[in-house]
Amino acid sequence: MIDKSLQQLLRQTSNIVALTGAGVSAESGIPTFRDAQQGMWANFDPMELATLEGFLRQPHKVWDWYQQRREMAAKAQPNAAHLALAEWQEQLEQCLIVTQNVDGLHQRAGSLHVIELHGNLHRDRPISQQLPAEKAADLPRCPETGNVLRPDVVWFGEMLPEGAMEQALSAIEVSDLVLSIGTSAVVQPAASIPLHALENGVPVVEINPETTELSSAADWSLRGSAADVVPQLVAAAQLHYSRDRLSR
């Protein structure tokens, strides 16, 4: 799966950006967006559950759904892909993880440099709008302002956290390899990250069991699961680190 030219690149690389999506947490038991539409949330309507308007209309329903997702993420364990990326961070000069996931599993695996493009399921933040008293009853409130709290995730139509994209794009410009792992590469602006790498002459490796929008443009498309393939990439690069250490 890892051909000679990729092996050589992995051995030379010291600065990586890894864009991750829901697929990286699939083997931790957290359904991807697509699985969610087919599986336990077959009646999932993103406009009801993942927009500010939906929250203002039915805050208890939205909170119930996020509470379920929180519990699921809290019970899940980081898998071999999260752990391999955390290990790689310790070895490389720079290994920035740019994730679309909100489950916090990269950090629980030990990764320190993580940009969360879509926020974090385990955090809250206050809304600025006032809800009618009957709608706001029993909702969690900010202890300081008294405002109703919402999950600190990016909903459809909302801005990404300030500076997150700029930081990711700048890191790509000085990187020597970009990985796109477990993402369908359709949700913007995250999907533009690997394209920015290609425009800047930075090689892109995709890891996904299925073909995506990115597959034909990527320099390598490795068809497999994140938990299988990412540890193989780290192992291939490590041959270099250990030899390097021995020669010092």
Binding residues for NAD(+): 100-103, 182-184, 208-210, 226
Relative orientation angle of helices 4-12 and 226-247, to the nearest 10 degrees: 60
Residues 18, 55, 65, 101: which binds ligand NAD (CB under 6 A)? 101
Please tell me the count of residues contacting ligand NAD according to CB under 6 A.
27
Q: Are 231 and 81 in contact (CB under 8 A)?
A: yes
Cα distance between residue 1 and residue 229, in whole Å: 9
| 118 classed as catalytic | yes
β-bridge mates for residue 172, sequence order: none
Q: How far is the CB of 4 from ligand NAD (least distance, A)?
A: 24
| Among 13, 25, 89, 175, interactor with ligand NAD by CB under 6 A | 25
Q: Does 223 bind ligand NAD (CB under 6 A)?
A: no
Instruction: Judge whether 58 and 48 are in contact, CB under 8 Å.
Output: yes
Out of 166, 173, 199, 210, which residue is the one contacting ligand NAD (CB under 6 A)?
A: 210
Q: Which of 82, 106, 118, 196 does the annotation list as catalytic?
A: 118
| DSSP per position, 26-81 | GGGTPPPHHHHHHTTTTT--HHHHSSHHHHHH-HHHHHHHHHHHHHHHHH----HH
Positions in the binding site for ligand NAD (CB under 6 A): 21-23, 25-27, 30, 32-34, 36, 100-103, 118, 182-184, 187, 207-210, 212, 225-226
